[in-house]
Structures are given as structure tokens and as C-alpha cells.
Amino acid sequence: MRRKKRLQPGSGGERAITLLGVGLLVLLTWSWLSSFYPTYILPSPSEVARRAREILGQGGLFALHFRTTLLEAVLGFGLAAAVALPLSYCLARHPRLDHLVTPIVVAMQSIPIVALAPLLVIWFGFGISSKILIAAMTAFFPILTNGVVGLKETDPRLKELLQIMGAGKRQVFFKLEVPSALPVLFGGLRMGLTLSVIGAVVGEFSGAGRGLGYLVYLARGTFDTALIFVAILALAVMGIGFYLVISWVEAVVMPWRRER
Amino acid sequence: MGKVIEVNDVTLAFSVQCQPELEGVNLAVTEGEFVCLVGPSGCGKSTLLRLVAGVLTPDRGEIKVGGAEKAEGWSHLSFVPQDSLLLPWRTVLANVLLPFELNSGQEKKAEWRAKAQAALRLVNLDGVEQKYPHQLSGGMRQRVALARALVGEAEILLLDEPFASLDGITRSQLQLEILEIRQQKQFTGLMVTHNIFEAVFLADRVVVMGEKPGRMLGEVGIDLPYPRQLKLISTPEFAALVGTVQDFLEKGGSADEA
């Protein structure tokens, strides 16, 4: 029997209608629920919208917080990737080093970053550098492990074939090992990017003067629950933005997966 | 004509405890000849092919390819694997260009491209240059693998059960294409198969191998005329040759293999 190609994930219009419907449902439920509670426990959607307009009107203050967290997450992610990718190459290449280093990395990973964050703030200050470090540490592990797994995943038959064709070690690495690792590698980068936002916010909770995490921390103190919602929404927007960017990069770097 | 592939008394064991994979194997292929190795699975025929390709070294004995014991670079030799083994991130054209990229110092993109296109035409592939391997059928992928092997004008073609994973109809199509390509291009072929009919249909000579340990059982010269058509397989001459090969296999003590 001939089977049809797998259905494409809904057309643009269909998707938009679904999204709109779900969004509307959430909003209606939310505003219905909020009528039972005081604003400082559950503000209504309109209250959150009002608070958002208010803070957005305060001369770039909100933009500053947003930019700060964005910068911390992006730089933290960049730092994590810059260290994790070369290291994963070394670990994949030298199994002995892998045996030596991996237990240390796993041990480090098992320390909750939330517990470590205050220490890093004490050491590196209230500024942006301690947050970058915390974000980097949060993002580091999945990038590293996926890198190692990806680079080790090369099909040995393909490697042999390339050797028969006369490929040297460098050529095997760049023309075979790297491209075949890319899908797994990107899985790690995707996770790392999301985690770096969490890291940045955790860092800001532990002591900061700006950032969306700091805003949440501040709003909690004054029971400005609507502001917490605004900050959470902003973080969600950031997450979606990251997702779109990395999806786009993936499609550019791995065009052969686009038409699957 | 000179011997292009020579395997002299080769023994290979993957581990000390086990029986050797190959024991005292001899094989010679002369220039322009097409030889098929048949035998039950596990008789080491693919291993022998990998030895000739130079990715394995024998424990004992010697292997000469193209006259030299260890030719520098294996660019005069190309390999067609069982499952096409195309690089999934490369288009069909880029896959066929790979041997050039790996071996040539300077870039002659236009020249390579023309050769790659010619190789694709040779295997009857048109209009799929920009497609990715996963967009092709199994038979088309195997044709691309064949084009990749032919593109560099290699003198020796090693084929490791190239049609084993194809359906019957596609398989006989590709068998006919191999015969046709042999009319157009001059090369020496060594092909591994476990299909006796395929071996007799394609080869100038069929070499029969036995298992445990992998060894030579005998060989059968195939003096069927070229060009060969599919109806050849229903002739008594063909049946007689298949029978001879069968006899060698049965004498080898592997009666369970047909």
C-alpha cells in the first residue's frame, strides 16, 4: 500500500486560528478566575495590561530590564558554547580524557545552581558578570553532553568509506564528523539557550540592580502581582524569540533537514 | 593482461580466540575483468573486499592492488557499499563531487561538475542533482552511490552487495545497468554477492567462498556472451553454470545456503 507523505504541520492560517482560539480560552478562564480573588493574588488580564502600559510608558525603564536579562542570557549562552564545544571535541576524540573529566562535570552538574548563585554574586558582584557566569554554568552541561554524543555518533561505515576515498583526518572531521553531529549538537544548543535565561533570572534573584528577575523580586516585595505577570510575559516573549532565532539558524545550517 | 588485484595466501583473524575470518585466501583479478565473490553470509567475503580496499591489513600474506603492494592514495580504486552510504547533508550532486573534493589539491569546480553530471547520466539519473538522499528511493540512492564510484575514472570498482537491499525489479534494472556501464567504461570489478544468479549473470568469473574459516572453494568461468539480456537466465547454459556454482557451495559443507 502506498502511504501519503506525513501531513505538514498545519498551514499558516490554520495555525493562527488555533493559537488565537487557545489564547482566547486562556484569557476568558483567567479573567473569570480573577473575579474571585483580590488583585494582589490574581490580577485580571486587563489589570496586567494596564500595568504593562504603565511601566512601558516609564521612559525605557522596562526596556532596560529586558535588555539586561537578554544580554546576560545571550552572553552566558555564548560563554557556555565557547567552552563546551571545544571541550566536547576533546572528550569525543580522547576517551581517556572523557573518563577523567566526565565524573567531575557530572559532580558539578549535580550542585543546584540556585545554591551556587549567591556565592557567585558575592564573588563577582551585583553587576552583569556574575549573572553571565550563572547563565553560562546553567547552559553548559547540555551543550557539552550533546556535543560529545553527537561527535561520537558518526557512522563507522561512512568513516571507512571516506578513508577508502582517500580522506585525511581533517577531512573526515570537517566533512563527516561535524555535519553528522549537527542535529544532536543543535539539540544541546537549543536547551542551553533556554537554560541560560533561567540562569540569568536565578542570578538576578540572588542580588542585582536590574533585569526581569530583579523586577520580579522587587514586585514580590510590594505585592505588585500584576508587575510579576508583566515580567513573566516578557520572559516568555524572550524565550519565543530565542526559539525562532535558533530554528532559523538550524534551517540555514542544516538545509537538508528542512525538506524532511 | 596484467593482474590488477592480487591476494596471496591471506589470513586474517579479528581475535585470537575465534577461528580466523579468512584463511589462506588466494585471488587474482586481471585488468578489465569482472569477478563476483559468492558465499554464505559470514564467509568473510566482505572482509576480503575491505582488505583489498586497504582499510584492513592481513595478519599473514600480501595484497597487491594495481601492481604495487601499497599504492599511495587509493584514488584509482572506488567502493560501492551495500546501503549506498550517501552523506545525508549533501545533495546528490555534492555527494558525487565528494571524491574530487577529497583528492584534488586545486579546485576545478566546472570540470568536476561536468564529470559528475556525466556520471549521473551514466546511471540514468536525471533531474535529481539538487535533491537530498532521503528524498530518493532506494534504487535511486544506489545509483547515486554508483555514480560517486564512477566519477573519478577509477580503474578498480569494489562492490559490496550493492543490490542486496533493493526489491527484485529494481535489482534487475540495476544489474542491466552495470552490464551496460561495463560496455561504455573500462574498469576492473570485484563484486561481493550472496545471490548466485546475480553473480553468474554479471561476472566473467565467479569465485566461490566457504565459511568457518573463510576460504576459497573454487571458481567458475562464465563464458556467456555479451551483451547479456534478462532472458539469458532462462537458457540451459545459464542454469548449468548456476548448478556448477551451487555444487561448489554444497561441497563446502554449507548445505543450508541456497
Q: Nearest Cα to B64, choosing from B164, B156, B200?
A: B156
Residue the block writes with cell 530583579: A214
**B91: nearest CA partner in chain A:** A256
Phi-psi bin for B85: left (phi > 0), alpha (psi -120 to 50), beta? left
pTM of the model: 0.78
Nearest Cα of chain A lies from the Cα of B108 at a distance, in angstroms, of 18
Asked whether residue B157 carries a pLDDT value surpassing 50, the answer given is yes
By DSSP bridging, strand B205-210 and strand B215-221 are antiparallel
Question: How does residue B114 score in pLDDT terms, banded at 50, 70 and 90?
Answer: confident
Check if the beta carbon of residue A239 is closer than 8 Å to that of residue A229. no
Question: How does residue B70 score in pLDDT terms, banded at 50, 70 and 90?
Answer: very low
Q: Give residue-wise pLDDT tens across range A226-254.
A: 999 999 999 999 999 999 999 999 999 99
Of residues A135 and B225, more confidently modeled: A135
Burial of B59 from C-beta contacts in 10 A (0-12 / 13-18 / 19+): middle
Average pLDDT of A37-48? 90
Q: Nearest Cα to A184, choosing from A254, A238, A243, A244?
A: A254
Which CATH class name applies to B3-76+155-251? Answer: alpha beta
Question: How does residue B35 score in pLDDT terms, banded at 50, 70 and 90?
Answer: very high
Residue A16 maps to a domain: no
Distance between CA atoms of residues A8 and A26, nearest Å: 26
Nearest CB among A166, A176, A254 relative to B73 is that of A166
**According to the model, what pLDDT value does residue B74 have?**
47
Contacts of B136 in chain A (CB under 8 A): none
**According to the model, what pLDDT value does residue B62 have?**
85
Average pLDDT of A50-68? 89
Q: Which of A170, A256, A258 should we substitute to test contact with B (largest number of B Cβ atoms within 10 Å)? A: A256
Check if the beta carbon of residue B245 is closer than 8 Å to that of residue B208. yes
Residue A47 maps to a domain: no
Q: Nearest Cα to A86, choosing from A100, A97, A74?
A: A97
Of residues A194 and B19, more confidently modeled: A194
**According to the model, what pLDDT value does residue A260 have?**
53
**According to the model, what pLDDT value does residue A187 have?**
93
Residue A19 maps to a domain: no
Question: How does residue A76 score in pLDDT terms, banded at 50, 70 and 90?
Answer: very high
Asked whether residue B34 carries a pLDDT value surpassing 50, the answer given is yes
**According to the model, what pLDDT value does residue A132 have?**
95
Question: How does residue B124 score in pLDDT terms, banded at 50, 70 and 90?
Answer: confident
Check if the beta carbon of residue A157 is closer than 8 Å to that of residue B85. yes
Distance between CA atoms of residues A249 and A77, nearest Å: 15
Question: How does residue A212 score in pLDDT terms, banded at 50, 70 and 90?
Answer: very high
Residues whose CB falls within 8 Å of the CB of residue B118, separated by 6 or more in sequence, listed in order:
none
Beta carbons of A160 and B54 less than 8 Å apart: no
Nearest CB among A164, A179, A256 relative to B55 is that of A164
Average pLDDT of B88-97? 91
**B74: nearest CA partner in chain A:** A166
Distance between CA atoms of residues A246 and A143, nearest Å: 14
CATH number of the domain that A69 lies in?
1.10.3720.10
Check if the beta carbon of residue A200 is closer than 8 Å to that of residue A73. yes
Q: Which of B89, B95, B141 should we substitute to test contact with A (largest number of A Cβ atoms within 10 Å)? A: B89
Burial of B45 from C-beta contacts in 10 A (0-12 / 13-18 / 19+): buried
Q: Give residue-wise pLDDT tens across range B132-144.
A: 999 998 888 999 9
Nearest Cα of chain B lies from the Cα of A181 at a distance, in angstroms, of 11
Distance between CA atoms of residues B36 and B202, nearest Å: 8
Beta carbons of B81 and A254 less than 8 Å apart: no
Beta carbons of B102 and A162 less than 8 Å apart: yes
Question: How does residue B68 score in pLDDT terms, banded at 50, 70 and 90?
Answer: low
User: In this structure, which amino acid lies at residue A83?
Assistant: V
Q: Which of B102, B156, B158 should we substitute to test contact with A (largest number of A Cβ atoms within 10 Å)? A: B102
Asked whether residue B258 carries a pLDDT value surpassing 50, the answer given is no
List phi, psi (to 5°) of B11. -125, 140
Residue A31 maps to a domain: no
Nearest Cα of chain A lies from the Cα of B238 at a distance, in angstroms, of 34
**According to the model, what pLDDT value does residue A181 have?**
92
Least-confidence region, from A29-38, A132-141, B5-14: B5-14
Q: Which of A157, A165, A169, A178 should we substitute to test contact with B (largest number of B Cβ atoms within 10 Å)? A: A165
**According to the model, what pLDDT value does residue B141 have?**
92
Q: How many folded domains does chain A comprise?
A: 1
Distance between CA atoms of residues A170 and A185, nearest Å: 19
Check if the beta carbon of residue B93 is closer than 8 Å to that of residue B147. no
Percent share of chain A, pLDDT over 70 = 95
Range of the domain at A145: 58-258
Distance between CA atoms of residues B10 and A2, nearest Å: 48
Residue the block writes with cell 577508502: A164
Q: Give residue-wise pLDDT tens across range A114-130.
A: 888 999 999 998 889 99
What does DSSP assign to residue A40? T
Asked whether residue B73 carries a pLDDT value surpassing 80, the answer given is no
What does DSSP assign to residue B232? G
Across chain B, mean pLDDT equals 83
Q: Is the dihedral of CA A236, A242, A248, A251 positive or negative?
A: negative
Distance between CA atoms of residues B74 and A77, nearest Å: 44
Residues recorded for chain B: 258
Average pLDDT of A210-239? 92
Question: How does residue B257 score in pLDDT terms, banded at 50, 70 and 90?
Answer: very low
Question: How does residue A75 score in pLDDT terms, banded at 50, 70 and 90?
Answer: very high
DSSP-based three-state secondary structure for B230: helix
Domain with CATH 3.40.50.300 in chain B: 3-76+155-251
DSSP-based three-state secondary structure for B113: helix
List phi, psi (to 5°) of B222. -105, 100
**According to the model, what pLDDT value does residue B27 have?**
87
**According to the model, what pLDDT value does residue B253 have?**
55
Beta carbons of A164 and B102 less than 8 Å apart: no
Residue A78 maps to a domain: yes
Contacts of B144 in chain A (CB under 8 A): none
Residue A81 maps to a domain: yes
Asked whether residue B123 carries a pLDDT value surpassing 90, the answer given is no
Interface of A with B (CB under 8 A): 155, 157-158, 160-167, 171, 175-176, 179-180, 182, 254, 256, 259-260
Average pLDDT of B97-118? 82
Asked whether residue A9 carries a pLDDT value surpassing 80, the answer given is no
**According to the model, what pLDDT value does residue A78 have?**
97
